Amino acid sequence: MSTPDAPNLAPESNADRIVAVPVRHYGRWLGGAAVLLLLLDLGFAVARNKNFKFGLVPHYLFDPVILTGLKTTLELTVIAMAVAIGLGVIAAVFRLSPNPVLKATSGTYIWFFRGTPVLVQLIFWFNLGIIFPRIRLGIPFTDLTLWSAPTNDAIRPLTAAILGLGLNEGAYVAEIVRAGIISVGKGQTDAAAALGMRRSAVMRRVVLPQAVPVVIPPMGNEFIGMLKYSALASVIAVEELLGSVERIYSTNLRTLELLVVASIWYLACTTALTIGQHYLERYVGRSRATPQATAGWRIWTLRRAAH
Amino acid sequence: MTTATGRTPVVRAHRVRKNFGRLEVLRGVDLDVFPGEVVVIIGRSGSGKSTFLRCINHLEKIDGGLLYVNGQLIGYREKADRIYELREREVAEKRAEIGMVFQQFNLFSHMTVMRNLTEAPMRVRRLPKAQAVERAYRLLDRVGLRDKAAAYPAQLSGGQQQRVAIARALAMEPSLMLFDEPTSALDPELVGDVLEVMKGLAADGMTMVVVTHEVGFAREVGDRVIVMDEGVIIEEGVPEQVLSAPKNPTTREFLARVLTPTGSVGATSDVLPEYTVKGDPGT
C-alpha cells in the first residue's frame, strides 16, 4: 500500500492523529526510583526518631505565646515594609533628580544601608541611647524644641527593629523603584511634557503608575524576604515569632519541635503572600495585557463603554 | 515680529542650531510657519527634521539661534536686551499650547482612552471633569473612536492608537500641531485612517508642521514642503514644484528612493491612496 517514501502513518480514519509507540525513558524511571528511595529513608529517619515529639507540634501551633509572636512578626513586616517603600520611592526619585545634592544623598544612603549587614544595623539602632541619650524634634541649629524624650523610651526594641529593617530594606526598594522608573520609556515622559505637564506631575501621574507593574514582582520577593528577616529582631529582644518560640524552648528544651512550629507559620505566611502577589500582579497588569490574555476584561470594558 | 505680508508667524525659526555632544544636528535652520499653514518636512533619516520639530516645543533645547512660537521666544524670555531661561512651569505652560503627535503614539498605557484625553485638560488646564469628558467624546467622534473610550491603548491597533494620540493633543486646544512621522510605525493599511484625520484638521485651518515620508500626503495637504539634509533646509517650495521638479540633486535622490515601491522607507506611491475612515460618523 505505502510507497517506501511515504511515512507509515495511522489508518485513513485517524489521519490527523498520530498514533505512535512512545519512547521508554528507562533512565528517568531509574533516577526517579533512586530519589524516591532516598526521600523515604529520610522520612523514616525523622518519623522513627524517638527524640522528636511530633505530638508537640500541633500542641504548640496555636499556643497564645506563639500567636502573639506571629502577630508581632506580621506587624513588624508590614510596618518596616511601609517605611522601606516610602523611603525607597523618595530615594529613587532623588537619585534620578537633576539636583546633585539630592542625588548624592540618595546614593550614599543606598551605598551605606546596602553595604552593612542588617543585623549590625539592628543592634546599632537598639543601642542608640548610648550616644544620643535624648531624642529631640525641633528646628536644626536652634534651641526650638517641638518634642523630646529619652532615647531608650522613644526607641524601644520594636521601634529599633522597625528602623533597622525599614532603613535597610529602603535601600533595596530604592533600587527596585529606580529600575521601574527607568523601564518607563522616554516616549511617555515626552508625551506628558508635550501636553504641558510639569515634571512632578509627569512623575506622579505617568511614570510611577507605570513603574508599579514592573516593580510588583521584585517587591513581592522583598516582602517575603522581610517576613523572614524580621526573625533577626529576636536578637534585640523583640518577641516576634522566633522570639516567642525561643522563649518556650528555653524552658522546655524542645528546640526542634518549636522551630518546626515556627517554620510552619513562616511557610503559611509566605504562601499567603505569594498568592496575594499573584492576584496583585494580575490586577495591576490589566492595562498592559494583550487583548487575548484579558478577553474577559475587554468584554467588560466594551460593555462599560456601551453604557 | 510681523513680516512683509503682515501676518505674525506661528513658528519663526532663525538660524536654529542644535548639537548632541560634538554632533551638529541642526546647523542654522530658518523657517516661518504662518497661521493655518501646513508645512511638511521631508528628508533622509538623520537629517535633523525630527530634532527640529522637538525644538519647537522645547523637548530639545536649542544651542543657537532664535525660535519663536506665537511671537514668544521658546524656552527663554527676553527682557531689556538679555535672555533669561524660563522656569519649568513657564516652559510647561507654553508647551500646553503646542500639540505633538509622536511616531510611537506614546499613549499613557496605564490609562483608558478617556483618561488619556482628559488627564492634561483637567490637570494642566483645570477643566472641570464634565467638560473634559464632553470634549473628549467630541474629539473621539472626530477621529471615529467614540466606542473605544473605555479601552486601554494595548487593546487598540496602531492606527487607532495614533488617532487617539491626535485627539489627546487636540484636547488641549493647541494653536499649533507638530507631527513627528505619525504614520511611520503603522501597518500600511492603517496609514490611511490617520492621514484622513490629519487632512480633516488641515481643512479646519489648523497650523501644522508635519515630518513625514508620506509624499502623497505632502502633495495633497501640504501648503509648503521643506527638504532637510544634514541639519539645514536644502529646498523649500510648494509641493508640486519640490516633489515633481526638485532643483537640488539630494532632494531628487531622496525622492527617487521614497517613491520607488522597493524603497527602504516603506514608500508609498506618489498617488495618494484612497482613504476610508472606518466608523467616522461623518461618512
Bridge partners (DSSP) of residue B53 are none
Indicate the Cα dihedral angle A170, A176, A181, A185, nearest 10°: 180
First-residue to last-residue Cα distance in chain A: 64
Write down the CATH superfamily of domain A60-306. MetI-like (1.10.3720.10)
| Rounded average pLDDT per 10-residue block, chain A, 307 residues | 51 71 92 96 88 87 94 96 95 93 96 94 87 77 78 79 94 95 94 95 93 90 94 92 93 91 95 91 67 42 45
Question: Strands, DSSP E only, in chain A?
Answer: 134-138, 145-150
End-to-end CA distance of chain B: 42
Cα gap B118→B130, rounded to integer Å: 10
Residues of chain A found within 8 Å of residue B160, distances taken between Cβ atoms: none
Residue A13's pLDDT is 56
Amino acid residing at A186: K
**Each residue's pLDDT tens digit, B14-64:** 999 999 999 999 999 999 999 999 999 999 888 999 999 999 999 999 999
Give the pLDDT score at B258: 81
Q: What separation in angstroms does the CA of B217 have from each of A256, B131, B142, B197, B257?
A: 79, 33, 19, 12, 17
Neighbours of A304 (CB within 10 A): 12
Q: Mean of the pLDDT values across residues B252-265?
A: 69
The residue of chain A nearest to residue B89, with distances taken between CA atoms, is A198
Q: How far is CA A196 from CA A32, A232, B123, B220, B264, in A?
A: 64, 49, 9, 31, 35
Asked whether the beta carbons of residue B110 and residue A197 sit closer than 8 angstroms, the reply is: no
Residue A64, classed as helix, strand or coil, is helix
Pair A56, A257: CB distance under 8 Å:
yes
Amino acid at A269: C
DSSP states of B202-242 as a string? Answer: HHTT--EEEE-S-HHHHHHH-SEEEEEETTEEEEEE-HIII
Give yes or no for A146 touching B (CB within 8 A).
no
| Phi and psi at residue B85, to the nearest 5° | -70, 140
Average pLDDT over chain B reads 88
Mean pLDDT, rounded, for B160-183: 96
DSSP state of A254: -
Instruction: Give the pLDDT confidence score for residue A11 in this predicted structure.
Output: 54
Place of cell 519541635: A257
Residue-level pLDDT at B5: 55
Cell readout for A143 is 534651641
User: Which of A227, A225, A216, A205 lies closest to A179 in space, CA to CA?
Assistant: A216
CB atoms within 10 A of CB A299: 10
Is A188 an 8 Å CB contact of chain B?
A: yes
Interchain contact A298–B (C-beta under 8 A): yes
pLDDT of residue A164: 93
DSSP B77-88: EEETTEEEEPPH
Q: What is the pLDDT of residue A146?
A: 77
In chain A, count H helices and then E strands.
13, 2
Residue indicated by cell numbers 490589566: A286
Model pLDDT, residue A295? 43
Q: A103 vs chain B: nearest CA distance in angstroms?
A: 19
Q: What's the Rg (C-alpha) of chain B? A: 19
> CA-CA distance, A194 to A54, in Å (whole number)?
67
- As given in the structure block, the three cell numbers for residue A14 are 485517524
B124 inside 8 A of chain A by CB? yes
| Partner-chain residue, chosen from B104, B154, B169, that has the shortest CB–CB distance to A187 | B104
Strands (E), chain B: 11-20, 23-33, 38-42, 64-69, 72-73, 76-79, 82-85, 98-101, 176-180, 208-211, 224-229, 232-237
Q: Determine if residue B181 is left, alpha or beta; phi over 0 gives left, psi from -120 to 50 gives alpha, anything else beta.
A: left
The reply to whether A194 touches chain B by the CB within 8 Å rule is yes
For chain A, how many residues are written?
307
φ/ψ of B124, rounded to 5, equals -90, -45
The set of residues, in sequence order, having a beta carbon less than 8 Å from that of A110 and lying 6+ positions away, is A91, A95, A171, A174, A175
pLDDT at position A287: 58
Cβ of residue B66 closer than 8 Å to a chain A Cβ? no
Of A197, A288, A290, the CB nearest to B120: A197
Q: What share of chain A is helix, strand, coil (3-state, %, to 5)?
A: 75, 5, 25
With 0.80 as the threshold, say if the pTM is over it. Answer: no
Integer Cα distance of B163 and B179 in angstroms: 12
| Contacts (Cβ under 8 Å, ≥6 apart) of B69 | B10, B11, B12, B56, B57, B94, B97, B98, B176
pLDDT greater than 80 at residue B270: no
- Report the pLDDT value the prediction gives residue A52, as an integer from 0 to 100: 84
Which chain A residue lies closest to B147 (C-alpha atoms)? A305
| CB-closest option in B111, B152, B172 to A196 | B172
Q: Show the cell assigned to A165.
A: 529593617
Q: Is residue A233 within 8 Å of residue A156, measured between CB atoms?
A: no
Check residue B244 and report its DSSP letter.
Answer: I
Residue B139 to residue B164: CA distance in whole angstroms? 9
Does residue B157 belong to the interface with chain A, where contact is any CB pair within 8 Å?
no
Lowest mean pLDDT among A79-88, A254-263, B194-203, B266-275: B266-275
A-B contacts at Cβ under 8 angstroms: 97
Range A31-67 burial, b when 16+ CB lie within 10 A, else e? eeeeeeeeeeeeeeeeeeeeeeeeebbeebeeeeebe
The predicted pLDDT at position A142 comes to: 76
- The complex's ipTM works out to 0.86
User: A228 at the B interface (CB within 8 A)?
Assistant: no
Facing B123 at nearest CB: one of A191, A201, A286: A201
Question: CA-to-CA distance for B205 and B217, rounded, in angstroms?
Answer: 16
For residue B122, the SS3 value is helix
